Amino acid sequence: MLTREENDLLTRTGPGTAMGELFRHFWQPVMLSDELPGPDCTPVRLRIMSEDLIAFRDSDGLIGVVDAYCPHRNAPLYFGRNEERGLRCVYHGWKFDVHGNCVDLPNCWEGETFKQKVQILAYPTVERAGIVWMYMGPKDRQPPLPGYPFMELPDENVYGNKFETACNYFQSLEGDLDPSHNAFLHSNLATRKPGTIVPAMWNGDPPLFFDTDYGVQMVTVRPDEPGKVAVSAGHYTMTTAASVRGGTVVRQMNFRTPIDDANSLFFRIRYNLTGALDERELWEAKHGEYLYPPLIPGTFRSVANKSNDYLIDRVQQRFFNFSGIKSFIIQDVAVTDDQRGPIADRTRERLVSVDEYIIRARRRLMRAARELQEGRPPVAPFHPESLGLLPLRFTMDASGDIETALREQVEEQMEQARQRRPSSATDAAAPARPVGDRDRLAEAKLIGIAGA
């Protein structure tokens, strides 16, 4: 349960809010590259963290994301002409490049000199994995690109798509941090086991949790061969990244980006570290209606949505699956879109032990937001390899110290990631290297486990 103040802190991400400022210190996925298919194509409206923006691809193929309204007299730039390296307002012809510079101001005598004093709000963007990533924070703290495992893979190894959900980002994210719901929401009647399901799944022992500088780790320990235990760890990574349902070949990461406080974008990225995604995987992703929901043509809204009760089929529910809802992903959406509204009322909930991952993630984010308010910005964005940790699986002596073993495994994985990372990945296409108290950050030791 959260107090009303805590719930507000957790869920509000507009400009000037504590959580919104924290989010703005991290690169966020905001749209698909395909939404801007070629140079000088039609601009696209974008609303991210309650800011109205326009995205366009210029003649050189670079993506600009600028304020939705012209700085002259606030005309909507959506109607702008995308021409010769800039977006031109159709009201009086002012033109802006992808960096927000006014490059033409043709409607007055002083235009040639005055244009140098005019800027439009513009955010740096980078394209990776078919997705446009955007940084909306202070210019002097722009971090390197996050080291998500798919960021430097060839196109054929990655498939990502997005859809809109009609709820706050965090309640959508909670589904990824909720180990007990799979055995119910996503189960089929034929394979469901009776009784107390989740403790049995974990061999009776609850998982362990560790707060880290980048997020939270959930660790399960199971008996293995005599004298050994098998340890597996998953990561929640600030601000909204979760590795879920990762197979050993095709892995998956989910992200949520707030559109505003009551709507969010759900990005799901599937990738193969060692080779191209095969045809069957791609077909399943695009047409299987299981991993990604079918969308209303021309939109990113799912066909099954709140207005039609997510197409729940009560016959299916009676005889086949637990929820009666066909698509796996829509099963999640149906129970998270409305938890006493699009912003869940967390003053009215009764959490139990198995909700600890969610509790930890909430606290971790709120702590980071408060620290930023007190002048201590997050260090994780400047340790990009920490944001791309893969789920861990290893065996160790049953008598060994799990925390130490985990720390070593995490360090080793981060070192491998640092070595894999091309030097170009540290520079975003657009401006500004991180400065400010960069020395302190360079020295800051990112330890996998900062304490339970």
User: Interface residues with ligand FES (CB under 6 A)?
Assistant: 70, 72-73, 75, 89, 91-94
Task: Choose among ligand FES, Fe ion, none what residue 258 binds, the Cβ cut-off being 5 to 8 Å by kind.
Answer: none
Q: How many CB atoms lie within 10 A of CB 436?
A: 12
- Decide: 152 and 421 in contact? Cβ < 8 Å: yes
CA angle 390, 396, 401 (to 5 degrees): 95
Return the range that interacts with Fe ion (CB under 5 A); candidates 107-115, 327-335, 392-400, 419-427.
Answer: 327-335
Partner touching 175 among ligand FES, Fe ion, none, CB below 5 to 8 Å by kind: Fe ion
235 DSSP assignment: E
Give yes or no for a contact between 78 and 68, defined as CB atoms under 8 angstroms apart: yes
DSSP states of 273-287: SSSPPPHHHHHHHHH
Residue 174 engages Fe ion in binding (rule: CB under 5 A): no
DSSP letter, residue 188? B
Check: CB of residue 177 under 8 Å from CB of residue 241.
Answer: no
Minimum CB separation from ligand FES for residue 125, in Å? 22
Q: Are 98 and 62 in contact (CB under 8 A)?
A: yes
Secondary structure of residue 332 in the 3-state scheme: helix
User: Shortest distance, CB of residue 67 to ligand FES, whole angstroms?
Assistant: 11
Cα–Cα nearest to 318, from 184, 189, 183 = 189
Is 332 near Fe ion (CB under 5 A)?
yes
User: CB of 81: closest distance to ligand FES in angstroms?
Assistant: 11
First-residue to last-residue Cα distance in the chain? 20
In the bound state with Fe ion, the residue whose beta carbon lies nearer, of 260 and 332, is: 332
* Under rule CB under 5 A, residue 234 binds Fe ion: no
Choices 30-38, 107-115, 137-145, 332-340; region in contact with Fe ion by CB under 5 A:
332-340
The CA distance from 39 to 164, in Å, is 26
Closest CA to 50 of 219, 257, 209: 257
Residues that contact Fe ion, how many (by CB under 5 A): 2
Dist. CA 11–CA 261, nearest whole Å = 6
> Residue of minimal CB distance from Fe ion?
332
Nearer to ligand FES, 87 or 285 (CB): 87
Instruction: Please identify, using beta-carbon distances, which residue of 73 and 286 lies nearer to ligand FES.
Output: 73
> Which of ligand FES, Fe ion, none sits in contact with 75, Cβ below 5 to 8 A by type?
ligand FES
**Residue number, 145 or 334, with CB nearest to Fe ion:** 334
Question: What is the 3-state secondary structure of 12-41?
Answer: CCCCCCHHHHHHCCCCEEEEEHHHCCCCCC
By CB under 5 A, name the one of 43, 137, 175, 378 that touches Fe ion.
175
**Shortest separation between residue 172's beta carbon and Fe ion, angstroms:** 10
Find, among 389, 359, 369, 373, the residue nearest to 449 by Cα: 389
CB of 105 to ligand FES, least distance (A): 8
Q: Which of ligand FES, Fe ion, none does residue 253 bind (CB under 5 to 8 Å by kind)?
A: none
Q: Residue 215 and residue 221: Cα distance in Å, rounded?
A: 20
Shortest Cβ 185–Fe ion spacing (Å) = 6
Task: Please say which residue, 2 or 70, places its beta carbon nearer to ligand FES.
Answer: 70
What does 332 bind: Fe ion, ligand FES, none (CB cut-off 5 to 8 Å by kind)?
Fe ion
Beta bridge partners of 242: 236, 254
Count of C-beta atoms within a 10 Å radius of residue 347: 13
> What residue 255 binds from Fe ion, ligand FES, none (CB within 5 to 8 A, per partner kind)?
none
Nearest distance from residue 254's CB to Fe ion, in Å?
Answer: 10
Closest to ligand FES by CB, 32 or 66: 66
The site partner of 72 among ligand FES, Fe ion, none (C-beta below 5 to 8 Å per kind) is: ligand FES
The first and second tokens of residue 412, run together, are: 């080793």
Contact positions with Fe ion (CB under 5 A) in 23-52: none
Query: What is the contact surface with Fe ion in residues (CB under 5 A)?
Result: 175, 332
